[in-house]
Amino acid sequence: MNSPQAIVIGCSAGGLNALETLFAGLDRALPQPIAVCCHTGSATVDLMCELLGQHATLRVVEARERASLEGGVIHIAPSGYHLLVEASHRFALSVDERVSFARPSIDVLFDSAAEAYRDGLIGVLLTGANRDGAEGVARIRHCGGVAIVQDPADAAVPVMPQAALELAGADHCLPLAAIAPLLNRLCLT
Amino acid sequence: MNTLAGPTPPPDTVLEDIEVELFVRALKLRYGYDFSQYAPASLKRRVLQLVQAQHADTVSAITARLLHEPDFLPVVLEGLSVPVSEMFRDPDVFRALREQVFPVLASYPQINIWQAGCAHGQEVYSLAILLEEAGLYERSQIYATDFNESALNQAQEGIYPARDAQLWSRNYLAAGGSHSLADYYSARYELIKLDQRLRRNVIFANHNLVTDEVFCEAHLVLCRNVLIYFSDPLQDRTLGLFRDSLVRGGFLCLGTRESLAFAPSAVDFTPMNAALRIYRLESRNGGGG
């Protein structure tokens, strides 16, 4: 892999708590942009950004259509839209059909980011109750990026990381507590 | 240097990009539909979905079919437009239209509304219901346009899966509907059909935002979650179309997550409700009042 240029994170059931832990452990000097797809039932992600922002070392904002991915900032996919990354490293939104029953879908974010950043991408898949993200992890690895999957035994809901491991494997399979330190190491050296 | 080794094969995602580009070019040269200014990531997803749905092995395979089988064109257009919507999607927007925009529209003797990219028509019927309940429908004319002929046909029929009705009813009430959504449709088996009286003042017409020009003078343009699929220059061109179509002080309603930050034409529009992406057209010469 090249030096990392961006990080994408996917999670579903149990994801909010996992993100809280992860974001609290990130080094505040992290220069890469971070994009997050977290399945949520709410109509907006305002509250999610606020909650996550309380403990995060980095700024947490909703990802904005057409905006560039900003280094050192955590961008959350808006509710009800797929979030994609263009080759120009800008965000795009879509209201296409749900993928794996989800919109935003982790696969959609991971696929597009994998092609936009190729071997400069790190993908992180955390707890969740469906199979969304498995294809995306495969795509990231296929394009030369690094995939980090939460150890299913450590996940609040193991289905999602388990599905990804079975379909795509991972470069690192770790408990949640070890993921932020790994990201800091990969991204700051 | 080992001259016997062939060129390194490109990763297949790069090959796919080449194939998608050729597919888009074929569609344009053969039939005049121009998708070259669509946002690439979503377009590629849709093309690859089409490949999968057609049980084809490669994008090139469907490009060949597209070139040689004109009957295949509607399938392709349907696949590339993937119209997904709800009735009263984002109820707050419809509430704002009713409470903030309709009172102004009410001052016109005839109200023209352009629903651009109407897809399967859910928003057309939503709008008609809203106008009906506001007592404005009799003097309203809705132009509902789309480039996708089969979507337009479905929009005219107004038939939708019954499983959607529950969500739509909730949306309708959240939007401030004064009756029950069920008053406007009949249910049969797994389907609902919207009251066809609702389309008495609707003209469904084929119009392509990419290539066609202004065709009406509108007091309100609704175009929600259509421009998100367009590149910056095409988004800007389309906003220009809306500007030229709107009367002075007319309204533009976009999707709630759309951004005008990269569109020079946006200077002509003033946010009326920025959060809900409802804009008003500025007076053109700055003086007109």
Nearest by CB to B228, from A93, A97, A114: name it: A93
Task: Encode pLDDT of B96-147 as tens digits.
Answer: 999 999 999 999 999 999 999 999 999 999 999 999 999 999 999 999 999 9
Predicted local distance difference test score (pLDDT) of residue B3: 40
Residue B248, in any domain of the structure: yes
Whether residue B173 is found in the same domain as residue B130:
yes
Q: Regarding predicted confidence, which is higher, B9 or B46?
A: B46
Query: B10 pLDDT band (50/70/90 cuts)?
Result: low
Q: Do B42 and A92 touch (CB under 8 A)?
A: yes
Predicted local distance difference test score (pLDDT) of residue B250: 98
Whether residue B172 is found in the same domain as residue B97:
yes
Q: What is the CATH number of the domain that holds B224?
A: 3.40.50.150
Residue A181, in any domain of the structure: yes
Residue A163, in any domain of the structure: yes
**B205: which strand partners?**
B145
Residue B86, in any domain of the structure: no
Q: Do B39 and A85 touch (CB under 8 A)?
A: no
Task: Encode pLDDT of A16-35 as tens digits.
Answer: 999 999 999 999 999 999 99
Task: Encode pLDDT of B73-108 as tens digits.
Answer: 999 999 998 777 899 999 999 999 999 999 999 999
Report the C-alpha gap between B140 and A157 in whole angstroms: 53
- Average of pLDDT values for A62-87? 97
Report the C-alpha gap between B122 and B89 in whole angstroms: 9
Say what angle helices B149-157 and B73-81 make with each other, to 10 degrees: 70
Domain extent, residue A75, equals: 6-188
Domain extent, residue B162, equals: 91-281
Checking if the pLDDT of B285 tops 80, the result is no
Checking if the pLDDT of B286 tops 80, the result is no
Average pLDDT of chain A, as a whole number = 96
Whether residue B77 is found in the same domain as residue B197:
no
Of B15, B42, B262, which to mutate for an interface test with A (greatest number of A Cβ within 10 Å)?
A: B42
Measured between beta carbons, the chain A residues lying within 8 angstroms of B259 are: 64-67
Q: What is the CATH number of the domain that holds A25?
A: 3.40.50.180
Q: Identify which of A91, A16, A51 has the alpha carbon closest to the alpha carbon of residue B42.
A: A91
Checking if the pLDDT of B253 tops 80, the result is yes
- Average of pLDDT values for B253-267? 97
B85–chain A nearest CA distance, Å? 8
Whether residue B77 is found in the same domain as residue B101:
no
Whether residue B179 is found in the same domain as residue B102:
yes
To the nearest whole percent, how much of chain A has pLDDT over 70?
A: 99
Checking if the pLDDT of A177 tops 70, the result is yes
Predicted local distance difference test score (pLDDT) of residue B4: 45
Q: Do A78 and B82 touch (CB under 8 A)?
A: no
* Type of residue numbered B31: Y
Residue A87, in any domain of the structure: yes
Predicted local distance difference test score (pLDDT) of residue B5: 47
Predicted local distance difference test score (pLDDT) of residue B2: 40
Q: Do A96 and B82 touch (CB under 8 A)?
A: yes
Q: Do B228 and A112 touch (CB under 8 A)?
A: no
Chain B residues at the A interface, defined by Cβ less than 8 Å, are 11, 13, 39-42, 45-46, 82, 84-85, 225, 228-229, 232, 255, 257-259, 261-262
Whether residue B118 is found in the same domain as residue B252:
yes
Which residue of chain A comes nearest to B229, CA vs CA?
A94
Number of domains making up chain B: 2
Residue A91, in any domain of the structure: yes
Predicted local distance difference test score (pLDDT) of residue B81: 87
Number of domains making up chain A: 1
Report the C-alpha gap between A139 and A105 in whole angstroms: 14
Whether residue B51 is found in the same domain as residue B100:
no
Task: Encode pLDDT of A30-51 as tens digits.
Answer: 999 999 999 987 888 999 999 9
A:91-150 residues touching chain B, CB 8 A cutoff: 92-97, 108, 111-112, 114-116, 142-143
Task: Encode pLDDT of B144-162 as tens digits.
Answer: 999 999 999 999 999 999 9
Last residue of a domain, one of B48, B81, B114: B81
CA torsion through residues B206, B212, B216, B219, sign: positive
Which residue of chain A comes nearest to B230, CA vs CA?
A92
Whether residue B159 is found in the same domain as residue B246:
yes
Q: Which residue matches tokens 């979905």?
A: B49
Torsion angles phi and psi, residue B216, rounded to 5: -150, 165
Report the C-alpha gap between B278 and B262 in whole angstroms: 17
Query: B288 pLDDT band (50/70/90 cuts)?
Result: very low
Q: Are A161 and A129 in contact (CB under 8 A)?
A: no
Residue A1, in any domain of the structure: no
Report the C-alpha gap between B74 and B76 in whole angstroms: 5
- Average of pLDDT values for A67-86? 97
As to burial, measured by CB atoms within 10 angstroms (0-12 exposed, 13-18 middle, 19+ buried), residue A6 is buried
Report the C-alpha gap between A114 and A136 in whole angstroms: 8
Whether residue B34 is found in the same domain as residue B109:
no
Which residues of A are part of the catalytic machinery? 12, 39, 132
Task: Encode pLDDT of A119-151 as tens digits.
Answer: 999 999 999 999 999 999 999 999 999 999 999
